[in-house]
Every structure is written in C-alpha cells, then in structure tokens.
C-alpha cells in the first residue's frame, strides 16, 4: 500500500515524533540531574528508580505492538491510539517534572518511580503504533527511508524543543531549576498533542483497514510472549537489534551525563552547554539527514550506518578527555562533527522495516507492531541499563551533588565516562552492524518474492 506517497503524507506521518522525542529529550538530558541535584534524591537511588520504570515500560512495548496488530477499529489499527496516548503523555510529563514537597528519600524514590512508569507507558501507547504504521505505509525501499527520515526530522525538532525550552525558561527564572523544569513540561503539551493530531489527519485512509487486520485470534499474553521469542529467530532483525541496543546504552549514558560533564569537568554554565554545544549538535544532526539518505542510496543502508556509528565512537573516545577546561571552541567544533555522524542513526530505523519483510516472507503474517514493540522494548531495556550504570558509576567515581566543585580526580573520571566509555559502546555497535547479513541485493530479492506472492493471491482471489 502507499506506493507513491505524497511529501505531505510523509511529512505528516513524522509529526507525531515531534512531541514524543521532545519528552524523551527533556527526560534524558534533565531528569536524572533534576531529581539528583534539585529534588535531592541520591544518584544511586535516582538511577535505580529510572531503570526500574523503564524495565516495566520495556515489557509493555511488545504487548502494545501485539494489541495494535490485533485491533479492529474502523479508523485502522494504529492511528486510533495516537491521540489518547498523546493526552496521557502530556499529563504524565507535567506530573513527573512537578513533584510535590517530599521529606524523605523513600518518598522521592516512590514518586519518581510511579510518575515515570506512567510517562513511559504513555510513550509506548503512542510510539509503538506510530512506528508500525510507518513500516506499513509503503513497501518501496527508498520511500521507507524517506518516511523514517521525516520521522527523524520531527524527532530532531522535538529533541531541540526538549533541550532548548528548559534552558530558555531557566534563564528567564533567574536560575530557579525546579520552576524552569516544571514550566517547560507544561509547554511541551503543545507539540505532544499537535504532532499526534497532524499524523492522524495526514494518514487518514492509509492505515490498514480493520477488516484486514491479522490475526483474528483473541489476545492472550502467553501468545504475545511466544511471538516475541519468534522475532529472535529472524537472523537479520537479531543482529540489527543487538547493534542498536549497544548504541542505545551509549546514547543514554551520553545524554544523562552531558550536563555533569560540561558543568563539573569543563566548568561551563548550563546555558553555555545548551546554547553553544548541545544546540549546535542537534542542528547539525538535523542538517545531516538528507546527506545520510543519499549515502544510503549510494553505498547501502548498512554500509552508511556503519560509517556513521563507528566514526562517532572513535571520535567520542578520543575527543572528550582532551578538551581544555573552561573553553568553548573545541567542544563546539566537535559538536558539529559529532552531530553530522550521529545522523546515520536514521538508517537503523529504516533497516528495521526491511528486516520485517523477511518475516513476512517466512510466515505470511503482517507483524510490524510486534517487531517495533520488541525493538522499543530492547531500546527501553538498554536505556534502563544505561541509566542504572550512570547512577552506579557517578557514585563510584565519588561525585557529590551537594558540592558545587568536584575534586580533580572526580573531574577526570567524568571525562573518561563521557568520552572513552561511551565511545567504546558506539564502536562496538558499529562492528556488530557490520555483521548484519541483510545486504541491499538480498532485500531486493525478498521484496521481489513478496510481490510475486501478492500477485498470485490476487489472481487466486479473482482481483
């Protein structure tokens, strides 16, 4: 379906990621430090609460995928979940960044755990059906890459909002971090709700009709978990997922330690770190997407992805420990190069849809929701591991949230965490991706066989 999608449809499809990634960005960059330094929850307990909530959320991702695969709504099986999920996401984002006065670490831990579970569940209700819908809109390889590039485009715009808005409000509130984070969460309701509404409108009539949804069997949890295990038998999906999990651990660790590194290692203010380093990184990331799409057409998605991810790992490992303290020029220049390399990540999303074609050929079933549910589950488990490790490692290197200045030893250890530790993970992800056996030629053969099967079915049905 959707062999010749308009640019308006492709652009509209991606819009839901605007609010989704805005929340993810604000959470990944600010939430850990907010609860650790501002709310006063020790780093070890902050990391544990975030990790536990994400583990729960990881379990719900494939369940949501299975639910959407089996849904039989008149408007389709993916789109009807987007607006209700967006409403829940807006409310839960406001809740998690506006905690009530709490007198004990136990109460702070419980509030963070419960509110973050709710937020992540809402993200699942939006994110899994939205990703699965993108895989179904077109069978054409290049159009799929464009669809997920538009998705990543809005995701990058959302990341910019989630990064820039709290910093802007912080500057207007005279450095009152609690007030700034709380107000920013209210403002995020606009991209969350508007983005979901645009996607629902733009893809009207393109969601798979309810009477064609597969399978028609009732939903049972034991069957969903059995289906999840079957995705691991897909050799292409298995390698791609493993590469993405390793990269996600690195991304999570990088995002959650960024403000620590720039403030306590390079001794920059939060406004300097956001305005002169993180913002240029995201802008360069956004500008690099068309180039990575062209690179995928010329070299293949896998090769282009390996170049970007591996290059990001090597440069990260080398650069961050060498940056001079108190200077902006070197990290600013690297943010431009790093953002361009990181744009290759869009190719991994597009490769997921290609690996699902192999499953369709082998099983004859449309299980995009299941696959993207497992993909997001793996992402969440990797994020949980990254956040949990962040809390443990900050504690092990002797970081103290109560101290405005850290010891030279702690400062140097922060540089090692933010540079070589993250870089090695990206290098590992690139090496794993290089082992992916799904070449462009093999995928074209898979799609050729799928087209022949559809033609035979149409002939047999008298179409």
Is 264 within 8 Å of 403 (Cβ atoms)?
no
pLDDT at 217: 54
Rounded to 5 degrees, what are φ and ψ at 367? -125, 40
Distance CA 281, CA 266 (A): 17
Domain boundaries, the chain: 13-202+229-460
Tokens of 28: 């990944």
Is 35 within 8 Å of 112 (Cβ atoms)?
yes
User: Between the CA of residue 36 and those of 46, 96, 117, 329, 390, what are the distances in Å?
Assistant: 6, 14, 18, 29, 12
Cα angle, residue 380 at apex, residues 283 and 178 outer, rounded to 5°:
65
Cα angle, residue 310 at apex, residues 309 and 311 outer, rounded to 5°:
90
Distance CA 413, CA 435 (A): 33
Helix/strand/coil percent split, the chain, to 5: 80, 0, 20
pLDDT at 224: 56
Rounded to 5 degrees, what are φ and ψ at 41? -85, 125
Residue-level length of the chain = 463
Rounded to 5 degrees, what are φ and ψ at 162? -65, -30
**Domain 13-202+229-460 belongs to what topology?**
Growth Hormone; Chain: A; (1.20.1250)
Is 341 within 8 Å of 313 (Cβ atoms)?
no
The closest of 276, 255, 254 to 31, measured between CA atoms, is: 255
User: Between the CA of residue 325 and those of 53, 94, 321, what are the distances in Å?
Assistant: 36, 36, 10
Neighbouring residues of 1: CB distance < 8 A, sequence distance ≥ 6: 136, 137, 138, 139, 206, 208
Is 12 within 8 Å of 153 (Cβ atoms)?
no
| 397-422 exposure pattern, b = at least 16 Cβ within 10 A, e = fewer | bebebeeeebeeebbebbbbbbbbbb
- Count other C-beta atoms under 10 Å from residue 197's C-beta: 15
Query: Tokens 């849809």 appear where?
Result: 353
- Give the 3-state secondary structure of 272-303: HHHHHHHHHHHHHHHHHHHHHHHHHHHHCHHH
Q: pTM for this structure?
A: 0.72
* pLDDT tens, N- to C-terminus, the chain (463 residues): 445 788 888 899 999 999 999 998 899 889 998 999 889 999 889 989 988 888 887 778 777 877 887 777 777 788 889 999 999 999 999 999 999 998 899 999 999 999 999 999 999 999 888 988 887 787 776 777 788 778 878 988 898 899 888 888 887 877 687 888 899 999 999 999 999 999 999 988 887 654 444 555 555 555 555 566 678 889 999 999 999 899 989 988 888 888 889 999 999 988 888 888 988 988 898 889 889 889 988 898 899 999 999 999 999 999 999 999 999 999 999 999 999 998 887 788 778 878 888 888 888 877 777 787 788 778 778 887 887 888 888 888 988 877 777 889 999 999 999 999 999 999 999 999 999 998 888 888 988 888 888 788 767 665 5
pLDDT at 137: 83
pLDDT at 428: 96
Alpha helix locations (H) across 176-217?
A: 177-187, 189-202
Neighbouring residues of 461: CB distance < 8 A, sequence distance ≥ 6: none
- DSSP assignment, residue 140? -
């Amino acid at each position: 379906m959707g062999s010749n999608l308009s640019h308006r449809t492709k652009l509209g499809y991606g819009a839901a990621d605007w609010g989704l990634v805005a929340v993810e960005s604000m959470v990944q960059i600010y939430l850990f430090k907010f609860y650790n330094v501002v709310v006063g929850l020790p780093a070890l307990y902050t990391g544990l609460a975030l990790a536990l909530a994400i583990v729960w959320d990881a379990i719900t991702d494939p369940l949501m995928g299975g639910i959407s695969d089996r849904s039989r709504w008149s408007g389709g099986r993916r789109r009807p979940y987007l607006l209700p999920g967006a409403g829940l996401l807006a409310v839960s984002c406001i809740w998690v960044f506006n905690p009530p006065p709490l007198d004990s670490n136990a109460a702070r831990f419980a509030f963070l755990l419960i509110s973050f579970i709710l937020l992540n569940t809402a993200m699942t209700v939006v994110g899994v059906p939205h990703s699965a819908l993108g895989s179904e809109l077109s069978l054409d390889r290049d159009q799929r890459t464009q669809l997920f590039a538009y998705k990543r485009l809005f995701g990058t715009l959302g990341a910019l909002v989630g990064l820039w808005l709290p910093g802007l409000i912080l500057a207007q509130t005279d450095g009152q971090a609690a007030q700034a984070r709380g107000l920013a969460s209210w403002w995020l309701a606009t991209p969350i709700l508007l983005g979901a509404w645009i996607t629902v409108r733009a893809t009207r009539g393109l969601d798979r009709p309810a009477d064609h949804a597969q399978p028609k069997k009732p939903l049972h949890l034991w069957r969903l978990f059995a289906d999840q295990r079957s995705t691991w038998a897909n050799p292409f999906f298995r390698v791609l997922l493993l590469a993405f999990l390793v990269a996600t651990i690195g991304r999570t660790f990088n995002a959650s330690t960024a403000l620590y590194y720039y403030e306590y290692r390079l001794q920059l203010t939060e406004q300097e770190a956001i305005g002169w380093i993180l913002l240029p990184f995201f802008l360069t990331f956004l500008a690099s997407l068309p180039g990575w799409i062209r690179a995928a057409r010329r070299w293949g998605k896998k090769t282009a992805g390996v170049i970007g991810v591996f290059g990001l790992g090597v440069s990260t490992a080398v650069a961050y420990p060498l940056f001079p303290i108190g200077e902006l020029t070197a990290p600013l220049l690297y943010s431009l190069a790093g953002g361009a390399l990181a744009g290759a990540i869009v190719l991994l999303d597009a490769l997921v849809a290609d690996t699902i074609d192999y499953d369709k050929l082998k099983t004859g079933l449309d299980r995009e929701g299941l696959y993207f549910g497992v993909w997001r589950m793996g992402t969440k488990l990797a994020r949980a591991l990254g956040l949990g490790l962040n809390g443990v490692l900050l504690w092990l290197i002797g970081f103290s949230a109560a101290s405005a200045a850290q010891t030279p030893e702690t400062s140097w250890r922060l540089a090692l965490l933010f540079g070589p530790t993250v870089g090695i993970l990206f290098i590992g992800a690139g090496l794993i991706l290089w082992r992916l056996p799904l070449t462009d030629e093999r995928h074209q053969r898979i799609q050729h066989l799928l087209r022949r099967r559809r033609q035979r079915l149409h002939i047999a049905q008298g179409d």
